[in-house]
């Protein structure tokens, strides 16, 4: 089965927008067992849209098109589709009704000027838009099923999940029972993860493995198609595959549930009824920001100090002046005192601290860019470690330092539970 994806709209061609819709649809189709052969982005130009649809109608079996369904004059998709399909445009009753209901729910009335969005090729069937006004539609042209969706990502995604999946499953007789497990991994480059898992498909030929790198954490995804419609068996197979992956990657598994590093640390803290404060020199607030990105964090994340100056380290975190003058601002001893200091100040169970060199120009004698010292203080732990990374980029170093610090705490917590 050959699938193509078409994104329409001048924004993408002008470089003002990166096309994330296509990436979402590729992943979603892959999970249904459908491979994409080509992605095409074109502007709001009727002739180009018509000829693109015409070409694809002879080459592909499925084509998902996004964009150009709105009310303004540069929304040309429906008109172009009718030309390519050699079909006439009609005021589509079902589309109008679907729009009327959308407005009704919001206490609004459908006005005449909205009607353009319900003018569709007569041979098309409509797809409800739960997150916006313009309905989608689908129609077969030559050998290809064309599905037209809005370009706004939230509208498109909702329409794909609730409407399009069903249409594709029915038309192509696909099993749309898909079971997925996600695991997050840290501390290995993607190539190493791939290498460690490279005989996965030999062991589990009925499953697929996917990776998504979100530096510096990697998400490993295991997908199984429940073709036998025996969810219990599929679930148990998936469990075995997951166990196999966990054994291969060991301590590098952050979360077998696919949680982010901050979510997993939060989960462990809640489970163990513990609280956390952090003191950050080189990461400058990034760890705090990551922890506070998780809703409900105030239950366990109590305080973060971005202590960029020695003055703040000494007066607010109670680091000994002599420690800094004797060992320097980037040292395990300093990291340890920062961790103890912030733990004490905020009266939490754990304190985590970072000091290091994130970018050139912050050079401290004898210390290389990419060096970080991490301190961890808690009820039964008091340790500091030094790591050295090789990034020249400030943002990459900050991220790597922050996730490494949280990983040290995560490993400690995991051993307690």
Residues within window 333-392 making contact with a copy of itself, judged by CB under 8 A: 345-347, 359, 361-362
Q: Are 396 and 402 in contact (CB under 8 A)?
A: no
The least CB distance from residue 237 to a copy of itself, in Å, is 23
Strand-strand pairing, 350-356 and 276-280: parallel
List Cβ neighbours of 185 (8 Å cut-off, separation of 6 or more). Answer: 193, 217, 218, 219, 220, 249, 252, 253, 254
Q: How far apart are CA 141 and CA 128, in angstroms?
A: 21
- Residue 255 CB, shortest distance to a copy of itself, in Å, is 20
Q: Does residue 302 touch a copy of itself according to CB under 8 A?
A: yes
Interface pick for a copy of itself out of 1, 38, 321, 326 (rule CB under 8 A) = 38
Question: Does residue 152 sit in helix, strand or coil?
Answer: coil
Rounded-to-integer distance, Cα 246 and Cα 183, Å:
9
Give the relative orientation of helices 261-271 and 394-416 as an angle to the nearest 10 degrees.
Answer: 30
Q: Minimal distance in Å, beta carbon 128 to a copy of itself?
A: 22
Shortest spacing between CB 342 and a copy of itself, in angstroms: 9
Q: Does 175 bind a copy of itself (CB under 8 A)?
A: no
Q: Which of 172, 303, 327, 387 contacts a copy of itself by CB under 8 A?
A: 303
Rg (C-alpha) for the chain, rounded Å, is 27
Angle at 38 between CA 155 and CA 178, to 5 degrees: 60
Decide if residue 16 touches a copy of itself (CB under 8 A).
yes
Provide, rounded to whole angstroms, the least separation between the CB of residue 206 and a copy of itself: 19
- In this complex, which beta carbon is closest to a copy of itself, that of residue 99 or of residue 355? 355
Q: What φ, ψ does residue 315 adopt, rounded to 5°?
A: -80, -35
Piece of 209-217, 223-231, 264-272, 364-372 that binds a copy of itself (CB under 8 A): 209-217
Q: Which residues contact 339 (CB under 8 A, 6 or more apart)?
A: 279, 351, 352, 353, 375, 376, 377, 384
286 binds a copy of itself (CB under 8 A): yes
Tell me, by CB under 8 A, how many residues bind a copy of itself.
Answer: 72
Residue 217 CA to residue 215 CA, distance in Å, equals 5
- Closer of 36 and 253 to a copy of itself (Cβ): 36
Least separation in angstroms between CB 361 and a copy of itself? 6
* The pair of three-digit structure tokens given for residue 174, joined into one six-digit string: 């696909």
Nearer to a copy of itself, 96 or 317 (CB): 317
- For a copy of itself, which is the closer residue by CB, 289 or 320? 289
CB neighbours of residue 327 within 10 Å: 15
Of positions 100, 116, 274, 394, contacts a copy of itself by CB under 8 A:
394
List binders of a copy of itself among 115-144 (CB under 8 A).
none
Q: Count of CB atoms within 10 A of residue 314's CB?
A: 17
Please select the residue that binds a copy of itself; options are 32, 45, 176, 396, rule is CB under 8 A: 45
Q: Choose one: 134-142, 195-203, 297-305, 404-412; the region binding a copy of itself (CB under 8 A).
A: 297-305
Segment 247 to 266, residues that bind a copy of itself, using CB under 8 A: none
> Residue 95 or 373: which CB sits closer to a copy of itself?
373
């Amino acid at each position: 089965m050959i699938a193509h994806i078409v994104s329409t709209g001048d924004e993408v061609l002008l470089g003002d927008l990166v096309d994330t819709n296509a990436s979402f649809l590729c992943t979603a189709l892959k999970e249904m067992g459908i491979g994409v052969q080509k992605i095409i982005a074109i502007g709001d130009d009727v002739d180009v849209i018509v000829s693109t649809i015409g070409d694809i109608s002879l080459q592909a079996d499925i084509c998902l098109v996004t964009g150009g369904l709105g009310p303004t004059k540069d929304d040309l998709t429906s008109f172009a589709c009718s030309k390519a399909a050699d079909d006439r445009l009609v005021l589509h009753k079902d589309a109008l009704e679907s729009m009327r209901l959308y407005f009704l729910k919001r206490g609004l009335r459908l006005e005449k000027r909205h009607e353009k969005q319900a003018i569709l090729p007569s041979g098309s069937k409509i797809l409800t838009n739960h997150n916006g006004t313009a309905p989608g539609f689908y129609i077969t042209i030559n050998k290809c099923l064309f599905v037209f969706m809005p370009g706004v990502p939230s509208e498109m995604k909702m329409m794909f999940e609730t409407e399009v999946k069903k249409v594709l499953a029915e038309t192509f007789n696909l099993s749309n029972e898909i079971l997925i497990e996600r695991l997050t991994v840290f501390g290995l480059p993607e190539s190493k993860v791939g290498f460690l898992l490279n005989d996965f498909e030999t062991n589990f030929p009925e499953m697929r493995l996917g990776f998504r790198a979100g530096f510096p954490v990697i998400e490993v995804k295991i997908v199984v198609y429940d073709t036998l419609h025996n969810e219990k068996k599929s679930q148990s197979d998936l469990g075995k595959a997951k166990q196999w992956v966990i054994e291969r990657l060991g301590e590098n598994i952050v979360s077998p549930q696919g949680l982010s590093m901050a979510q997993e640390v939060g989960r462990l803290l809640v489970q163990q009824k513990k609280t956390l404060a952090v003191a950050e020199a080189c990461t400058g607030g990034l760890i705090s920001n990551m922890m506070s990105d998780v809703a409900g964090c105030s239950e366990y994340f109590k305080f973060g100090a971005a202590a960029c100056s020695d003055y703040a380290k000494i007066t607010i975190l109670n680091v000994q002046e002599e420690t800094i003058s004797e060992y320097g601002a980037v040292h395990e001893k300093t990291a340890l005192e920062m961790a103890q200091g912030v733990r004490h100040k905020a009266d939490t169970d754990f304190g985590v601290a970072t000091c290091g060199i994130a970018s050139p120009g912050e050079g401290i004698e004898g210390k290389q860019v990419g060096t970080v010292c991490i301190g961890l203080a808690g009820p039964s732990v008091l340790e500091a470690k030094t790591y050295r990374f090789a990034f020249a980029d400030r943002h990459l170093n900050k991220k790597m330092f922050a996730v490494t610090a949280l990983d040290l705490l995560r490993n400690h917590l995991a051993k307690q539970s």
